[in-house]
Amino acid sequence: MTILEKIITDKKIEIELKKKYFPASFLKSSPFFNHKTNSLVKKLKESKFGIIAEHKRQSPSKESINSFSSIINVTKGYENAGVSGISVLTDKKYFGGSLEDLNLSRASTTIPLLRKEFIIDKYQIIESKANGADAILLIASVLSRKEIKQFSLLAKEYGIEVVLEVHNQIELEKSLMPSIDIIGVNNRNLKTFNVNLDNSRRLSEYIPKEFLKISESGIDNSESIINLRSYGYDGFLIGEKFMKTKNPGETALNFIKRIENEA
């Protein structure tokens, strides 16, 4: 069993338990449920470089990245750096995140928040809305076309934007539909966790122009961003580059300044 398969197996168990103790009716009573979402698409269009900075404590491939960080301090630091969006990991077992992180981040900023999670059930979309997410991630490799359509349409009902994550052309072609807002090309193979930016370059020509596209994983220098911009990428999701330092916000600020100076 691959790491991804283990994650999905555990996620199914987790969701069934949550449904039992925190039903959808309970989630809809959350103060955040009526929160007007902030558009990640709009922010990316307004930005020259579209940095989506991630809060990430650990990963299956690198275990601890930054276990001591405060989500509030990181959120405010990223906001001060001028990022276009913040990605918040909410998986506990494999990434050390939580819905509380999403809650606290939402309470700390008006910047668009992307809930980074393995979404495999409609319940999680209601959960995302109830905890302040402006956008959700749908991973094409673990979902059928029917599920992607159902989940993305439900997200639209709640005013949540949808980032579709793909790893290859087959995933991309099965998933394109009007209810998707952003195509995210992951440069990390979720089976081996190897990273290669050529994945973004290869897939760029197959992504229709009506979709914003972002590149995810392995982006750690300004040269990569400037190069990928030439392939039509509107945004760049960066986590470990910032989170492995003592002050992710300051690192993000210096990184963005360097891009602006070199572009």
212-227: per-residue pLDDT in tens? 999 999 998 999 999 9
At the fourth CATH level, which superfamily is domain 3-262?
Aldolase class I (3.20.20.70)
Q: Which residues sit opposite 186 in a β-bridge?
A: 216
Q: What is the mean pLDDT of the chain?
A: 95
Distance of CA 129 to the CA centre of its chain: 15
CB-count burial class (<10 Å; 0-12, 13-18, 19+) for 13: exposed
Report which of 251, 200, 250 is spatially closest to residue 229, judged by C-alpha positions. 200
Report which of 184, 193, 192 is spatially closest to residue 238, judged by C-alpha positions. 184
Distance CA 55, CA 68 (A): 12
H/E element, 137? strand 135-139
Give pLDDT, residue 47. Answer: 94
Give pLDDT, residue 230. Answer: 95
Residues 6+ apart with CB under 8 A from 90: 97, 98, 99, 101, 102, 115, 116, 117, 131
For 1, 5, 88, the CA distances from 192, given in Å and listed in that order, are 12, 12, 23
CB-count burial class (<10 Å; 0-12, 13-18, 19+) for 9: exposed
Distance CA 74, CA 31 (A): 23
Residue pair 54/237 in contact (Cβ under 8 Å)? The answer is yes
Give pLDDT, residue 259. Answer: 93
H/E element, 122? helix 122-130
At 262, list the tokens. Answer: 């070199």
The DSSP call for residue 144 is -
Residues 6+ apart with CB under 8 A from 230: none
Low-confidence ranges of the chain (pLDDT < 70): 190-191
Give pLDDT, residue 180. Answer: 98
Give pLDDT, residue 225. Answer: 95
pTM for the model stands at 0.95
Report which of 235, 189, 195, 244 is spatially closest to residue 215, judged by C-alpha positions. 235
Give pLDDT, residue 253. Answer: 97
Give pLDDT, residue 149. Answer: 98
Give pLDDT, residue 194. Answer: 82
What residue spans define the domains of the chain?
3-262
